[in-house]
Amino acid sequence: MIEVNHITKLYGSQRALDDVSIKLNKGEVVGLLGPNGAGKSTLMKILTCFIPPTEGEAYVNGYSIYDNPIEVRRCIGYLPEQNPLYQEMFVREFLQFVGGIYATKGSVGGEKLNDRVEHMIDITGLRPEANKRIGMLSKGYRQRVGLAQALIHNPEVLILDEPTTGLDPNQLEEIRSLIRSVGKTKTVLLSTHIMQEVEAMCSRAIIINHGHIVDDSPISHMAAGELTAKFHKLTNR
């Protein structure tokens, strides 16, 4: 569960977010749509405790980003924009490293660390590339490594900043279906520029423009093309 209450973020005099409030429940995959500079990444960075808001409060699974930032981080899996990875590490080695950070008594995400790593390699389709250095991988496979590290501790909340960037059409379908399936039991907030992506993966779409939420609607109620039309209208194009 994610609750955002009246969050404002100023960068100097610029309002990147202006009095944003939203609530996301378990089992929802929510698409955050908006033109470049709308404030999507800023909201995600605040929810993952990377940066503080200027005003307002947010809770992740009931934990405050101010009072319980460690618990917030523990229950979130985060794939940041640009997907920063250690290029010199091998895929399996990197996942063991990230899993090791979350592990307690050798277990992570309900499994032994090594089993969990193999499980993540399987569900993200990384098996053929698991013994390669991350720097040698294609963009699509690096994106899978980013998703695997976000999922490794079986977090209840997933925050994915443009998770399907750089994927080819086959990879796109696989990753979309992975996100849909993990979304059944988690709360997922993902950002994208691609309208079809939201229609394919999300149960709800939030449109943000100049730091304001300008629409928040369930996808199931929308006719084909309605989301695109709404996006253009509400973001002044």
Q: Which residues of this protein are in contact with ligand ADP, per CB under 6 A? A: 11, 16, 34, 36-42
In one letter, which amino acid is 129? Answer: E
Q: Closest separation between CB of residue 35 and ligand ADP, Å? A: 7
- Angle at which helices 91-102 and 139-151 cross, to 10°: 20
C-beta of 35 vs 115, nearer to ligand ADP: 35
Q: Closest separation between CB of residue 200 and ligand ADP, Å? A: 20
Q: Closest separation between CB of residue 188 and ligand ADP, Å? A: 17
C-beta of 112 vs 212, nearer to ligand ADP: 212
3-state secondary structure 40-92: HHHHHHHHCCCCCCCEEEEEECCEECCCCHHHHHHCEEEECCCCCCCCCCEHH
Q: Which of 162, 192, 198 is nearest to 29 (CA)?
A: 198
Pairing relation of β-strands 212-218 and 204-209? antiparallel
C-beta of 40 vs 92, nearer to ligand ADP: 40
C-beta of 41 vs 164, nearer to ligand ADP: 41
C-beta of 117 vs 214, nearer to ligand ADP: 214
C-beta of 53 vs 125, nearer to ligand ADP: 53
Q: Closest separation between CB of residue 106 and ligand ADP, Å? A: 38
Q: Closest separation between CB of residue 120 and ligand ADP, Å? A: 27
DSSP letter at 137 equals S
Radius of gyration over every alpha carbon of the chain, rounded to an integer in angstroms = 18
Beta carbons of 142 and 83 less than 8 angstroms apart: yes
C-beta of 4 vs 91, nearer to ligand ADP: 4
Q: Closest separation between CB of residue 45 and ligand ADP, Å? A: 8
Beta carbons of 9 and 52 less than 8 angstroms apart: no
State which H helix or E strand residue 195 sits in: helix 195-201
Q: Closest separation between CB of residue 39 and ligand ADP, Å? A: 5
Beta carbons of 167 and 143 less than 8 angstroms apart: yes
- The backbone torsions φ and ψ at residue 95, rounded to the nearest 5 degrees and listed phi first, read -70, -35
